[in-house]
Amino acid sequence: MIELKCYCLSERKEDEIDLEVFKSISTQQFKDNYAFLKEKKVDINVYFYDEDTKPFIENDLVQGILAKEGTIHFPLVIMNGKLVKSGQLLSVKEIEDILDIGISLQVADYEE
């Protein structure tokens, strides 16, 4: 099982594309499809401090970072109980590597 948790301060402060990818893989539909195709379970969650502080308080690693260093290192990405990235979200490539999948993005190009 892969457990991937992302702790962000606010949905508005994070990199938009990487955050949208992370949110899309945290849906129950994605988790079910991944389990069906890969025969492996994933538990992926995104938490926002400005929406609910409970996950931040309940995780000892996150609570320790908050207590010692404040919020300077957020967002935090924890995989299987270990800190794997701080200060930014996982890139699409990093998510692909962890989950052993390909991710295709469509980004609108707005010209004025």
Q: Which domain holds residue 34?
A: 2-99
How many CB atoms neighbour CB 90 within 10 A? Answer: 21
Q: What's the chain's average pLDDT?
A: 91
90, part of any domain = yes
- Where residue 86 sits, what CATH number does that domain have? 3.40.30.10
**pLDDT at 12 exceeding the cut of 80:** no
- Total domains in the chain come to 1
Residue 6 resides in a domain = yes
Alpha-carbon gap, residue 5 to 45, rounded angstroms: 5
Residue 1 in tokens = 């099982």
- Prediction pTM value: 0.87
Residue 112 falls inside a structural domain = no
| Structural domain includes residue 60 | yes
Q: What does the pLDDT read at residue 10?
A: 86
| The pLDDT of residue 18 | 86
Contact 6, 55 (CB under 8 A): no
